[in-house]
Amino acid sequence: MTDRDTLLALAERVEGLSNPDREVDVLVGANINGTIDVPGVLGCYFPAYTASIDAAKTLVPKGWHVGMLTECDEDDSPSCCLTQNEEPCRDAVGRGADMALSLVAASLRARAGGL
């Protein structure tokens, strides 16, 4: 299992992206699912998490649900809030250049224990 600090640093990196990034997709996949080494092939086994809302949804941890995913929050930017309803109730928030990026960031934070 990946440590909390690594997941939080990766969430911050995702929030800093202005476009989807295949290298980040590979880092996310490797940190969540484990490393798969295929010489000369970058990311062949990992979905395009940063480019696709459907792929990003697969990162939402079990027991968490999307409480909010919007293109325009109060700061006029895409954001996502994931919620875990178990005691104690926890939230994980992500922001990004688009909804997929904000969902990836929130999912990484949820996996790190919420924020």
Enclosing domain of residue 100: 4-111
Answer yes or no: is pLDDT of 19 > 80.
Answer: yes
Answer yes or no: is pLDDT of 1 > 60.
Answer: no
Contact 29, 104 (CB under 8 A): no
CATH of the domain at 72: 3.30.2120
Q: How many domains does the chain have?
A: 1
User: Greater confidence, 101 or 71?
Assistant: 101
Indicate yes or no: pTM above 0.85: yes
Amino acid at 28: V
